[in-house]
Structure 1
């Protein structure tokens, strides 16, 4: 077994409350062998960057063996590493090297579905009498369904990557369910042998030294069987059929069983994070309540859906700061007594935060990247830093559809245009919210391909890498990278950041994001002007006293003692005072 971090068994069970997680998208992080695709060797070689940044946990997007239909989220072997990324021996080396630096390693767990090339599915589809037939969700055709022709899909459920959620298998004469790509058939979690096989695989990884799992769309593993054979008004995955496929009635049971079978009885401090699109605050309370022994925290998507219109993700609408504060404030309040928040702006499925929530024009990029970081990291919850976020990396300047690699974006473009949509309007939405924005290579230095690879990168490097890169920022005290380091240090050193109460201020202000944190006689005031306007007054109570309090974080020069507190464009400050309660 890989050597563990010394003394970790003495950590409190909720150690992750004061931790910061760094997400790596392996194919775009660092290429160690020159083939243009990031790999484990590249990650090993760059671990010192993460150590210097100060993060506590490294989360790896999938590196398992895969046909790469969905860039690794279609897994054909859970207990092997895809040759694109390296070998099991290199994975062991990475875990050991991370542990030697005090970094924990969390792997992506993708068990709502497998690849259609997984041995389980190949056996399942071999015949209707296969012993693994019921490991997946199979249905007969529904003749005349919704007035259709004989042989129609079992119901009108839609897939996340466009089209029907049902794929026809000619050999056995049935449809199988795939809530994502047809090459990603859904496992049938109602079958106890499926769950036993998943738990065995998870235990195998823990024995190799893995410190926990981020669980991909884990709330989809329980489907509501009451809906299984009928239509829903809006068949799209992110429409009305979410009530059929997400947060089903057996989800708490499955999560409790997983905890018992995989994590209980260990003295190691594991981390379990459930990605749950569509989850409500009330359900998140249940899933992350420590007393229920289900998950440590969930990823919810409410705040990153605020710029989506009635037509869904690609129906882009303006994002209003008041709506953002209302959403994040509701989650802060809802999980204040029960449960825990995950805090993030960026991940591998979202566009770059500074291009979406900030302003990536050269005049404002650095200041707005720091302001967004300040607001996020001072909330109550565990912050996640996505690779390149700590540099203020931006969206890529995509031109045509040929520039996109992501299955979701490409499928949407062709389907929308085929149905008469204006190609330029479709491209505008893809440029703004497409997942490839997050997947361009990590920008290490100003050399060819940003120091990501000595070969030809699998996806184009953002041209602004010459100015935005690690080497340019690592020793610059005014850089975005240095600001992230200081915020991470503050979380580690100031208990109020991890443990304090949260109170939202100025909820109706369209420019200022302000809140307080309070814990055992210490109070923090966080104020940020999330706009291009200068001279924005912050009308908080006791402004004079606050303006004279200790300034523990700022992203620019400050006039100490200004009252009312007045902020320039994209300015953020954190004040601290003691014995305030």
Structure 2
């Protein structure tokens, strides 16, 4: 679709700064050690002061929490641990009153095994239509094929231990993730109908969009052929692997039929107006494949995981950012920038390791530890660089505090199912999900909970109070106040709706000229070298003004100041010309 044909150029999501709230870890209002919607209500002012445009909520539905809410037992209600629909409505109304949009997570690849539809399927006999909602297959000679779970082990489990029926002895069900997360059968029109009703339920309540979990995984090759990877996806170093793990490829990922589903969903959202949006979590291998999800009649955005996975190296970053911009423009969609979320090691920690270090499996107390100062400096620089570019940017709760990954989390406290399913080889994602610190008071879980509360659901590091929002408020140079200034400047100039041109610059410096929607021109430059580098010539013209600058990495090669025409190691600058 040629970009000139799009009819939604002015929609809010094209340039929004979107903040992900992981409800379980954001703020606990009732002292049970678990974050909740009441805690979000208490932090509405904080969210407004951050100068964000939208909040994305990770799942808050009723769930047995085998995968922290991504195993949904009821798509039309709120987990009692988090509140109820009335509390959600209050949160929605308060955010809307501050001009902040609301995006919620939809999990359409699988449900919990406690969902009534799966319970009905188990109660039914083999061949009954109730089982057509999920992927049941008969095989008397082991699993129906060699597919492996993304969390480790086989992607197939036997039905008989769950149903208790002898007639199920040779029957299996598919779960690309945990055994407690059976996959829906998207060949069944009733599954389509179920999720259309889901969308309308939440759209009627007033939500502004949906983040689609595992958007590339809903449709499976109907022939169920063996996967080239095989059953152990967490210990694989063949083709289509990275750092000892299989990529999201195979007969159950990125099948052409997924696009028909999103065209169908786009029609439902359009009933409520073109400003309702869809964003894809699609772990595909190239920006060009990501762009397939954001054609005009499908989704609004797709997370740019090509940047998340890119090493801190100028040539690699320049290439992937260019490809992202070109691929997005080819379908008239905005670029979407992201560096951290609930599934990845926080980028303030990833960037504290030497280039090429493998952090994909999570980090534990016995692993090499990062350089926290370098990691934070690079993280602020990377975020500022991407936030200065046209498009939207996603931020993960806590990154505005410069929070690192909890790399010394006790292994016996881990709850990610990957840890157990991998045979205790892959530590998983708990380190980025530790509850946030709001104060330096350890008796209230560093302000996460009321005083004298239960212990948090994941233990917080002992130094969490030093990084708390309360401590950072009074420091004008804190990450929190930097984020506030960065997002306010980005909004006031309209950088997200601007147009950009790459500039000739030092090979170690990434530099673009952004013409903001207000007409002002800003150079966005970042230095990935270990020492001082010259700025692009255009930045040296008379009358330039530094709008934003990040710290420099301490280096033996002392960095001259901006006034001396230089950009320091690991530094990002926004310079108005």
Aligned 1:253-264 pairs, distance under 5 A: 253-260=260-267, 262-264=268-270
Q: State the shift of 1:560 in Å.
A: 4.6
Partner SS for 1:552: strand
Aligned 1:213-232 pairs, distance under 5 A: 213-226=210-223, 228-232=224-228
Note if contact 1:350-1:437 (Cα within 8 Å) is conserved in structure 2: no
Asked if 1:252 corresponds to 2:262, the answer is: no
**Counterpart residue number, 1:106:** 103
Q: State the shift of 1:304 in Å.
A: 3.1
Partner SS for 1:484: helix
Note if contact 1:525-1:576 (Cα within 8 Å) is conserved in structure 2: yes
Q: State the shift of 1:129 in Å.
A: 3.7
Asked if 1:554 corresponds to 2:560, the answer is: no
Q: Which of these residues, 318, 327, 331, is aligned with residue 325 of structure 1?
A: 318
**Counterpart residue number, 2:115:** 118
Note if contact 2:227-2:250 (Cα within 8 Å) is conserved in structure 1: no
Q: Which of these residues, 152, 158, 161, is aligned with residue 151 of structure 2?
A: 161
Q: State the shift of 1:539 in Å.
A: 5.5
Q: Scaled by the length of structure 1, what TM-score is found?
A: 0.84
Q: State the shift of 1:480 in Å.
A: 1.1
Residues 326-351 of structure 1 deviation map (CA, whole Å, 9 limit, x = unaligned): 22332122213422222111101111
Q: State the shift of 1:105 in Å.
A: 1.4
Q: Scaled by the length of structure 2, what TM-score is found?
A: 0.84
Note if contact 2:103-2:209 (Cα within 8 Å) is conserved in structure 1: yes
**Counterpart residue number, 2:172:** 175
Note if contact 1:223-1:249 (Cα within 8 Å) is conserved in structure 2: no
Residues 425-446 of structure 1 deviation map (CA, whole Å, 9 limit, x = unaligned): x6xxx4xxx4112111111110
- Cα distance change of structure 1 residues 399 and 120 upon mapping to structure 2, 3 Å threshold: closer
Residues 26-73 of structure 1 deviation map (CA, whole Å, 9 limit, x = unaligned): 111000110000011111111111001011111111010001000000
Residues 371-397 of structure 1 deviation map (CA, whole Å, 9 limit, x = unaligned): 122112112321111111001001214
Q: Which of these residues, 14, 18, 29, is aligned with residue 17 of structure 1?
A: 14
Note if contact 2:305-2:338 (Cα within 8 Å) is conserved in structure 1: no
- Cα distance change of structure 1 residues 396 and 239 upon mapping to structure 2, 3 Å threshold: closer
- Cα distance change of structure 1 residues 325 and 408 upon mapping to structure 2, 3 Å threshold: farther
Partner SS for 1:501: strand
C-alpha distance in structure 1 between counterparts of 2:129 and 2:339, whole Å: 44
C-alpha distance in structure 1 between counterparts of 2:437 and 2:383, whole Å: 19
C-alpha distance in structure 2 between counterparts of 1:286 and 1:362, whole Å: 37
C-alpha distance in structure 1 between counterparts of 2:51 and 2:247, whole Å: 42
Partner SS for 2:210: strand
C-alpha distance in structure 1 between counterparts of 2:515 and 2:376, whole Å: 29
Residues 52-100 of structure 1 deviation map (CA, whole Å, 9 limit, x = unaligned): 1011111111010001000000001101111111112211121112112
Range that drifts further, 298-307 or 49-58: 298-307
Asked if 1:567 corresponds to 2:567, the answer is: yes
Q: Which of these residues, 296, 302, 308, is aligned with residue 304 of structure 1?
A: 308
Aligned 1:75-154 pairs, distance under 5 A: 75-126=72-123, 127-141=125-139, 151-154=141-144
Residues 313-367 of structure 1 deviation map (CA, whole Å, 9 limit, x = unaligned): xxxxxx5443233223321222134222221111011111111125775654654
Root mean square deviation of aligned Cα: 2.5
Paired residues, number: 521
**Counterpart residue number, 2:284:** 278
Note if contact 1:123-1:130 (Cα within 8 Å) is conserved in structure 2: no
Asked if 1:373 corresponds to 2:383, the answer is: yes
**Counterpart residue number, 1:459:** 458
Note if contact 2:203-2:272 (Cα within 8 Å) is conserved in structure 1: no
